[in-house]
Every structure is written in C-alpha cells, then in structure tokens.
Amino acid sequence: MRFQREAKLWSQLRHSNIVPFYGANFTTEPFFIVSEFAENGTLNDYLAKGNVGLKAKWQLMHQVAVGLSYLHRKNIIHGDLKGDNIVLSKQGVAMLTDFGFSFLDSGSCSVLAMRDRLGALQWRAPEYIANLAERPTFASDIFSLGMCIIAAVNGAKYPWGNFDSAAVRKCYEERRIPVKRPHCMTEDQWELVGKMVAFEWKVRPKLDDVLEHLANFASTEERSIPVQFANKQKLPLNQQEID
C-alpha cells in the first residue's frame, strides 16, 4: 500500500527542511497522516501574495535544495517535487512534504502509479514521462528542482505557463524544453538553472554543485526579505540535520 509506505518512509526523516511527521493511522479507515501544520501554506500560495523579493526566493530555493540533499544522502528520491509539495513554516522556512512517490533508490517503485498525477508533468523530467520503463532518479529530482526555481523566480504557479499535459508530452517527443530565462535571472543564474532542466539527464549538475551556487545566489541578491519575516528570523542558509 502506497500510503503505508509513505508513512513509514516519512517517519524516518528528521530535518529542518522536511515537514515533521507526528504519526499515522493505516489500520482502519479513514487512513491519515499527522504532520506539522505549515502556517504559511504551500510555496505556490506564498508566492501568489506577491510580496516576496528575489533574495527571499533564492533563499527559499536553497532551503528546498538542502532538504532534497538530505533525502538524496539517505538514498531517497522524492519523485514529485513541485510548488504544491513545498510548504512554509510559521517562521518562513521552506520544507518538503508529500512523499507518496518517494522511494529508496534500491527499492521498488510503481511507474504506473506515478502516471496518476498528470497535472505535475511540467515539473517531471522527460526521461520518465516518455518511457514507461523509467522511474524517477536523482537526476530527475534535479530537473524538478530547476522547474521549481523557474516558477518561483517568475512568481508563477507553473514553470511552463499554460501548457497542458498533451502539450508537455509533445514537447518531450520533440526533445525540447520550452522554458526561457526569466528576465530577473542573471546569466550566471540561468547557466545553472538551464543545465538543471536540460533534456538529457547526463547534462544536469550534481546536487552539491547546485547547493553551492544557490547559497551564493541567496547571499548576493539584493536584500528583499518579506516584511512579515524581516524582524523575526533570517531565512537560514546552513544545513541543519537533526540526528
């Protein structure tokens, strides 16, 4: 059962950029998972408010990458990284959630189950949309993270804009990724993000390189922290793992 597998995997995670797991019921219906309440909602909801500056966006994306790095170091692939699966705590810290498609790299994974959420195709790497024999990989998580960055910097809900599932599939069949450099991205920033969303997975950078660049972008962008957090807590850049 996917729900039980998600609960078991999530219960083993302890990190400041992962939503804390409190418990689950999968013995009697209705099944449910109890986790920490994210007072600032999803990343998409938060960015839709329109008062998030560039520096804060890069800091949030660095936090997302730190959380993803924690998963990868545990040999876990998220498999469904997108704006709706990133939430913000009361203090404005980005946390990963929804591990229904996550799995150990050495474990099994239902590819057909992953096809259920076609609305997420804009974040999904081409290699496991076009080929039913493929499954998410560490490289496909990098692709999804790149799409999250594009959407966040643009302040948009979708990285591709108004592309439906059929249009996304057609682009992948033509071996192209129709995303352009956001006008507020520097050349250095786009050089990284463009490689992250490359069609060929071998071109995509390693997560350690992504982390280094994102930390630099987050620290050098003109300061523009949202007012509601400016006097409360600086968005953390340092990785904090709880043993």
The pair of structure tokens assigned to 68 is: 């993803």
List phi, psi (to 5°) of 76. -110, 130
- 45, 80, 84, 141: the active-site residue: 80
Q: Tokens 């990190």, residue? A: 15
Q: Tokens 């195709």, residue? A: 121
Give the whole-angstrom CA distance, residue 138 versus residue 77.
6
- C-alpha dist (Å) from residue 81 to 100, 146, 226: 11, 10, 24
* Cβ–Cβ under 8 Å, residues 83 and 6: no
Residue 80 falls in the annotated catalytic set: yes
Give the whole-angstrom CA distance, residue 11 versus residue 13.
6
54-73 helix and 138-154 helix, angle to the nearest 10 degrees: 170
Nearest-CA neighbor of 3 among 18, 25, 22?
25
The pair of structure tokens assigned to 171 is: 């682009």
Q: Is the peptide bond before 159 cis (omega within 30 degrees of 0)?
A: no
* Cβ–Cβ under 8 Å, residues 55 and 223: yes
Active site residues: 80
